[in-house]
Amino acid sequence: MSIKVWDYLEEYRARRDEILAAVDRVFQSGRLILGPHVRQFEEAFAAYCGARHGIGVDNGTNALTLSLRALGVAPGSEVITVPNTAVPTVAAIVNAGGIPRFVDIDRETYLMDAGQLEAATTERTACVVPVHLFGQCVDMAAVHRIATRRGVRVLEDCAQSHGASQDGRRCGSLAEIAAFSFYPTKTLGAYGDGGIVLTGDDGLDARVRRLRFYGMEGFGTGDPGVREAKLAYSALEHGYNARLDEVQAAILLVKMAHLDADIARRQTIATRYDDALTHTSIVRPRTRPGNTHVYHLYVCRHPERDRILSEMAERGVLLNVSYPRPIHLMPAYEALGYREGSFPEAERAAREIFSLPMYPSLTEAEQETVCRALGAVLGETVAV
């Protein structure tokens, strides 16, 4: 039997009764859309992250899109992010009418090199989207210094960093607005799609709630004016159908109760990998000073990456690459005018990085199998 790079089945078996009971409560409630489970999850997750408001949406891409719209990104506005991210980060910028612009990454952490923001900012720059990649946070103090000086808004992309913190504050509270994904593979994942927007700003909260429901006000807010809003049935602006589902919210509430324990388990697995691979040629993950890393992924680096992936698969161990092609080199975004060599660190990382299996139910025996197989492929000694 192969060892997968990610798996949820053991987790489901362990929590099946809790999850099915939560789903049954939704079905028994008579309320399937924007009901009490969504509201409860919004409040619980916002509090967990240290934010005042949470607005549940249907996926992480729309969490970004609605956040950008709420910040005032308009056609022709430039939005700066990094090329080594999931396509949804850039797709959301385009969906909101913005023009993606990129800066390169730090070689050791693979996070946005905030030192390049100043040169990339123009009078058309409306927003910067730092991506908290692989489980830890971008240097937000540096991002804010430049953004404040240049009058640019900041949106955290937290799709891979649930529970991560910087200088004692959790991501999702490190900028005026933040977007999360609950895609099943995430550190806190739904059993389907889901997302949330967090903000401490009352105006942004109201606008994102409006945008997720066709541009209408009063729906899914929990206030007594909902009936009057339904009778009015009028859109104040063009919006979306982007609501978090009651069933997924109920499942997320169950899983959120286990989130800190799951993160601790990921950190234990990461420490074991660190210890086992200390004396190999594998470049292990590096945590920025001040960060708490939650290891959404355990990202390694090696110049012979492709050979390692192939030979590990032959030994029944599946690895992953995030991401094998930087976005600025994808056909969909060639009109942005970048070319090979534009962002050398992102391009070099795309050729060399890969992820080892990482999920809370990964057993010590399975992890030992992974490390021994990696040692055999490398022809090096691992400490297991």
- How confident is the model at residue 229, as a pLDDT? 54
- How confident is the model at residue 321, as a pLDDT? 97
Examine the pLDDT at 221 and tell me if it is beyond 60: no
Examine the pLDDT at 250 and tell me if it is beyond 80: yes
The pTM for the full model equals: 0.95
User: Which superfamily, per CATH, for 259-378?
Assistant: Aspartate Aminotransferase, domain 1 (3.90.1150.10)
Positions of CATH 3.90.1150.10 in the chain: 259-378
Positions of CATH 3.40.640.10 in the chain: 9-104+111-256
Which candidate, 253, 327, 263, places its Cα nearest to that of 293?
A: 263
* pLDDT over 70, % of the chain: 96
Return the CATH fold of 9-104+111-256. Answer: Aspartate Aminotransferase; domain 2 (3.40.640)
Examine the pLDDT at 223 and tell me if it is beyond 90: no
**pLDDT tens for each residue of 136-174:** 999 999 999 999 999 999 999 999 999 999 999 999 999
**pLDDT tens for each residue of 9-45:** 999 999 999 999 999 999 999 999 999 999 999 999 9
Per-residue burial over 142-173, b = 16 or more CB atoms within 10 Å of its CB, e = otherwise: bbbebbeeeebbbbbbbbbbbbbbbeeebbbb
- How confident is the model at residue 33, as a pLDDT? 92
Examine the pLDDT at 288 and tell me if it is beyond 80: yes
Which candidate, 266, 254, 248, places its Cα nearest to that of 191?
A: 248
- How confident is the model at residue 224, as a pLDDT? 44
What are the two backbone dihedrals, phi and then psi, of residue 177, each rounded to the nearest 5 degrees?
A: -155, 150
- How confident is the model at residue 230, as a pLDDT? 59
CA–CA distance, 74 with 96 (Å, rounded to integer):
7
- Mean pLDDT, the chain, integer: 95
